[in-house]
Amino acid sequence: MDLQFAKQIAIGILVLLVTFFLLQFLLQKIGKNSNSILPVRFAKRIKIPLFLFLLATGVRLGLVSQYIPEHYFEYIKSISTVLYIISITWGLIVTIKIIKHRVIRHYDLSVSDNLQARKIYTQFNILERIVIFIIILFAIGVALMSFDSIRSVGVSMLTSAGVAGIIIGFSAQKALGTLLAGIQIAFTQPIRMDDVVIVEGEWGTIEEITLTYVVIKIWDKRRLVVPTTYFIEKPFQNWTRSSSDLLGTVYIYTDYQIQIEALRTELKNILDNTPLWDNNVQNIQVTNATKDAIEIRALMSARNSSDAWDLRVLVREKLLMFIQKHHTESIPHTRIYLDKPHGTTDRDE
């Protein structure tokens, strides 16, 4: 009987390996086909869950064999059930990631007008995490429920620890609120991937959105990490909420003698000679006047936030150079007039 049992195990292992390598070969062939819906690396990514699934199937089929001792039946059934759960869960996660990649690959974040791409990236990145979280949670629950002893312990804990459950629920209220905020961001989208925002006085772009926190890439390469609830509860600036193109402003303070038309002509020359300008908006206006200087605002448009920043820096520098070179008398300065001393006349001077 022992010899027959060993032979049965050897045949089972051989059949398992042959089936596994055959399926891997077929999946690789299908993935290499240009018309296939499966990606090229699908066979490699599904390799481990596929092997676990075949192993669980082999174990299940082995249960009907008369050569397996009866007292091993329950243990083998439990092991095969867990292997099934792990393999199916793993396979579902891989499939979800493939579907997401198939959808978002048609949208390019690097283009200037990437509003639609940022919407899709934000939705699918957050929804992917939500679905994976639910699948894993459900898989753990099914795995625990498959064991009679653990199921009975769980039921007794639920019935005898109601007060503790309420306390834990209140303790986890903030964590649950953070998760719900992540789900709300996925659908309402106050922020999206690659959005330009100002948060806590820092200027940066949205680099990563998870269910619990958001990573903002600051202009100097630092990372600002804030909880998702921040974007639901607190005000912040989103420069690219409705479109990628932006209006840039530059403020210059000059003397009253400045020639406004000369500045308008110079602004036009600057914008005409830079690819940062999108040929839409250009203007110079006097927006304020004080006793010492006047405030001049230069307005220009750009395709995206990065170009707008560089364009503002360029225009500010060029306008200052123009004033320094051609209108030095218009640099802000303070005038002091001395009154004549008391009792003097023009003849005394």
**Around Cβ 257, how many Cβ atoms within 10 Å?**
10
Residue ranges matching CATH 3.30.70.100 in the chain: 246-330
Which of 121-125, 161-165, 176-180, 291-295 is predicted least confidently?
A: 161-165
Is 122-131+143-243 in CATH node 2.30.30.60? yes
pLDDT in tens, 215-260: 999 888 899 999 888 988 889 888 777 766 678 888 999 988 888 8
CB-CB contact of 53 with 19 (8 Å): no
Residues with Cβ within 8 Å of 7's Cβ and at least 6 positions away in sequence, in order, are none
pLDDT in tens, 27-83: 666 666 655 556 666 667 778 888 788 777 777 666 555 555 566 666 677 777 888
Alpha-carbon radius of gyration of the chain = 35
pLDDT given at position 67 = 52
pTM of the model: 0.51
Residue ranges matching CATH 2.30.30.60 in the chain: 122-131+143-243
CB-CB contact of 76 with 33 (8 Å): no
| Closest among 2, 53, 1 to 24, alpha carbons compared | 53
Better pLDDT: 9 or 55: 55
pLDDT in tens, 287-304: 898 888 899 999 988 887
Percent of the chain that is helix, strand, coil (3-state, to 5): 55, 15, 25
CATH class of 246-330: alpha beta
Percent of the chain past pLDDT 90, that is, above it, reads 11
| Closest among 287, 290, 294 to 331, alpha carbons compared | 294
- CA 225, 226, 227, 229 dihedral sign is negative
Strands 246-254 and 294-302: antiparallel
* Length of the chain in terms of residues written: 349
Residue 326, classed as helix, strand or coil, is: helix
* Cα separation, 129 vs 97, whole angstroms: 10
Please determine, for residue 157, whether its predicted confidence score (pLDDT) is greater than 50. no
